[in-house]
Each structure stands twice: as structure tokens, then as C-alpha cells.
A = this chain, B = another copy of it.
Amino acid sequence: MSAPIPIDDPADPRLAPYTAMRERDLIGRQGRFIVEGAVTLRLLLSRAARFRAESILVAPERWPGLADAFADLPEPPPVYAAAKAVMSAVAGFPIHRGVLAVGIRGAEPEAAALVPPGPAPALVLGLAGLTNHDNVGGLFRNAAAFGADAVLLDAETCDPLYRKAIRVSAGAALITPFARLPRGADWLALAEHLGLVPLALSPGGGETLADLPPLPRALLLVGTEGPGLPGGLMARARTLRIPMAAGFDSLNVATAGAIALHHLARLPRRG
């Protein structure tokens, strides 16, 4: 790939998608999202990515370390080079790492399209009412680490393509398939429709995780750290708990999810 296109003027219209970044984190970007940092940029450009990069914006000194990521792309996106001071002026806050990209969301898939049909094994993570971007990002990272087939989000759960969620996910939000359920969707009816055993992870769960037998097709449901999963759901699902020491606050929800995903994953063991 040839050298990046230099831009000196923060008002250059090609940089418009990068302007007022924090304000637009809140109001949305009309089908676009922002990626920060080299690790996540490489995932956005990789074959594993589910999204197309619209453009890249890098500080000139970062380009030599990134050029190889563009080498095999049949239709590379435009790469703009601007000094960090210009990047910061456009974004509205200091851009220390000097690596940004704009991705295109595209059409959102249906949940059913992401889950391998039975009797093939399937491991799906369901996020119920998770409004913290750190937790959602962490859960995507853990879902990717344990090879989950998909992540399903209820209407209340926050956006995995929010800038900070992508960063905390170490880019997993760009490669792990996810779908948003309609408001008021019934997790248990969905699990039945998809042929998945619904498992509700909660400090008040009935079965101990370590005693759970192998399940070839599972939907692991996690909720917010405070209220947890809704009572109606807990009453109808198979509920799981992770034994913890008495007298201490429970685990972070992303950590609890990782422990359960590790138990449920069917990953090859070496040796």
C-alpha cells in the first residue's frame, strides 16, 4: 500500500467523522463507530472482523509500524496522516496513541442467524441489562477468549461498539458476532427456539458451577452486578452460582462470566 494521505487542516472534510468525538459518543454517529489504538485497528482490518473500515487516521510516526496490516487487503480504506496536535484538535481531546479509525456498522443480524443450528455444539452469552461499558467490553473479551459463538444483548444493554467498550474488549467487539434483541424479548423462549439450555449465573443460583455436567448447547445469561437477573427469569432458568468466601462483595460480572465461560467452553487441550 502507498503512503498515507497527509492532512494538516483540522477542518478538512475528510476528517469530519472524527470530530467532537466525546459528544458524538453520546449522541451516536449514524451507522459509524470509532476504533482507537493499534491492537484494535489490526483486528478491524483482519479477516475476522465483522465490520468494514471507512477510513484510518494516524500520526505520521505511527505509520511504519502499521503498514503491514494493510498489505494483503484487496480494497484498503483511505489512510490519512495528521500530526497528533491536528488529531487532538479534530477529536476535541488529546489523542495520545495517534491511531484512530472509523468503522461502518452495517445491517445488524438476527440472533438466530448467529447460533449454529443443533445438534452442533453452541456456546452463546446473553447480556441482560448491562449498562456499564467496561463490563460489556470485558465480557466480549472473555467471550472471544473462550470461543463463544455469539453474544446476544437485550434492549437495555449498552452498545459494544461504543469507543470505550471496544477498547476494553481488546477488539473482541469487532470480531465476536452479536445481535440485539427487541425490547421485552423473552430469553427463555429464545433459548427454547434456538435449542439452547438457558443458564442464569447469579450469586443466588441453585447449582454450583463446578458440578455442572457438560452441556453441548448453552445460553449463559448474566445480569447487572446490583439487581442481577430478573426474578422471573431466575425462577424459570437453570441457575448457577460460583461459590465465594463469606462476607465479601461478589465478583465483577465480567469476571464471573469468564469463570463460567471457561467451564462451559469446549476448547482443545494440549498434551
Contacts and interface: CB of A to CB of B under 8 A. Distances in A.
A243 B269 contact: yes
Nearest to A243: B267
Contacts of A247: 48
Interface stretch (A3-11, A79-87, A141-149): A141-149
Interface string A206-227: 1111110000000000000000
Contacts of A269: 208, 210-211, 243
A255 B211 contact: no
B171 A249 contact: yes
Contacts of A138: 252, 255
Contacts of A172: 248
Interface string A233-262: 000000001111101111110110011001
Interface string A167-197: 0001110010000000000000000000000
A31 interface: no
Contacts of A13: none
Contacts of A243: 265, 267-270
A81 B75 CA distance: 63
Contacts of A145: 244-245, 248-251
A147 B243 CA distance: 10
A113 interface: no
A103 to B, nearest CB: 18
Nearest to A257: B255
Contacts of A1: none
A20 interface: no
Interface string A120-161: 000000000000000000100110111100000000000000
Interface of A: 39, 48, 138, 141-142, 144-147, 170-172, 175, 206-211, 241-245, 247-252, 254-255, 258-259, 262, 265, 267-271
20 contacts: A48-B247, A141-B249, A141-B255, A144-B245, A145-B248, A145-B249, A145-B250, A146-B245, A206-B271, A208-B269, A208-B270, A208-B271, A209-B262, A210-B262, A210-B269, A241-B270, A245-B267, A251-B258, A254-B255, A255-B258
